[in-house]
């Protein structure tokens, strides 16, 4: 199954979330380090908090308003009222539509720096590969024109029948 990837401006988050939710489960990626994000304390400083939303969860207080999503979500079967501003959401994945929407402007800085490779990455990779080629010996080698080894002496077989009196 191919996943459609869309990059979208921040202003479209509400529209995208509402559209994706009409097709079922949506996974959102939240930077919960933001001061305006309300989630349980054990998840508060996670730049990659993953939450599942769906109308089928029948969350009575679930709302999508102009600038945020709110509702009581369960964390390990413990309910907690969450307030997630759209500014804190940087990705959405729809299972029903096989679509991913990314909001590059909202991706936390530390995730971007982890994703970027150093400028000399390709050169360093080549040096490591060259070193591996020099130091690595093949695990197997082909031996040609050798006679096959003599067969191992066979043990006499025991009978499989048993005398019953």
- Angle at 102 (CA atoms; ends 96, 108), nearest 5 degrees: 130
The model carries a pTM of 0.65
Q: Residue for token digits 């994706």?
A: 20
CA distance 51 to 74: 10
CA distance 84 to 64: 10
Q: Which domains does the chain have, with CATH numbers?
A: 4-115 (2.30.30.220)
Residue 163 has pLDDT above 60, yes or no: yes
* Averaged pLDDT for residues 123-128: 57
Residue 76 has pLDDT above 80, yes or no: yes
- Residue 138's CB is within 10 A of a number of other CB atoms, namely 6
| Alpha-carbon separation of residue 54 from 48, 99, 102 (angstroms) | 19, 15, 19
| Alpha-carbon separation of residue 128 from 118, 123, 125 (angstroms) | 15, 9, 5
pLDDT, residue 22, reads 93
- For 55, the token pair is 């109308």
Q: In the predicted model, what is the mean pLDDT of the chain?
A: 81
């Amino acid at each position: 199954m191919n996943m459609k990837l869309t990059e979208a401006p921040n202003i479209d988050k509400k529209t995208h979330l509402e559209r994706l939710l009409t097709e079922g489960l949506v996974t959102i990626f939240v930077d919960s380090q933001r001061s305006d994000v309300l989630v349980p304390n054990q998840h508060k400083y996670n730049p990659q908090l993953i939450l599942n939303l769906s109308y089928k969860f029948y969350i009575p207080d679930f709302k999508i308003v102009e600038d945020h999503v709110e509702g009581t979500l369960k964390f390990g079967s413990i309910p907690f009222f969450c307030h997630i501003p759209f500014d804190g959401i940087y990705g959405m994945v729809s299972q029903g539509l096989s679509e991913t929407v990314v909001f590059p402007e909202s991706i936390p800085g530390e995730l971007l720096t982890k994703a970027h490779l150093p400028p000399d990455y390709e050169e360093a990779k080549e040096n490591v590969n060259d070193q591996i080629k020099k130091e690595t010996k093949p695990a197997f080698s082909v031996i040609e024109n050798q006679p096959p080894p003599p067969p191992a002496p066979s043990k006499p077989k025991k009978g499989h029948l048993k005398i019953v009196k």
